[in-house]
Amino acid sequence: GSLFSSYMDWFHNFNCSLLFGVLSFVTVMFFYLLFSSFYFKSKKIEYQFGELLCSVFPTLILVMQMVPSLSLLYYYGLMNLDSSLTVKVTGHQWYWSYEFSDIPGLEFDSYMKSLDQLELGEPRLLEVDSRCVIPCDTNIRFCITSGDVIHSWALPSLSIKLDAMSGILSTLSYSFPVVGVFYG
């Protein structure tokens, strides 16, 4: 994948670790209070320190999520600034249409290959008759829409997913870091 997708993977793993830490802490405290006699000793205990911790820890957790999230959002915004090539992608029932607006006359439909058309080693339900060939290390803007119903245009290995909806033009800019075949 790209630097952006590896950063998104790191952010996801970081949030899962944070969530696991919070869940573990809450579980330990629950069982501690359940089996301890401390809770029942006195009802007139001052809880100022506990209240402080209950205010500070959630704030720290939110800040720990906010900083990487905003930097990821900023980096994503930088990717959308300029593009060398624009590809219009239209989702139809059972196929996708691609149109390169910077290259006049270059447009084609991409249909999924049936079982009898597949060659040995080609992935079933992923291989198409006309692949969309994109240059490497070039910022490309994808304008994605639908001709009928909602479709999902995705390249999971690059952490790209965008919904194509009729009447709405969604845009996405991306620079492919490596040469390869990406299925989605």
Top CATH class of 85-175 equals mainly beta
CA-wise closest residue to 174 among 14, 8, 16: 8
Q: Where in the chain is the domain with CATH 2.60.40.420?
A: 85-175
Q: Where in the chain is the domain with CATH 1.10.287?
A: 3-79
pLDDT tens for 27-37 read: 998 888 788 76
Top CATH class of 3-79 equals mainly alpha
Compute the average pLDDT of residues 112-127: 90
Quick one: 165 exposed, middle or buried, by C-beta within 10 A (0-12, 13-18, 19+)? middle
pLDDT tens for 59-79 read: 999 999 999 999 988 887 776
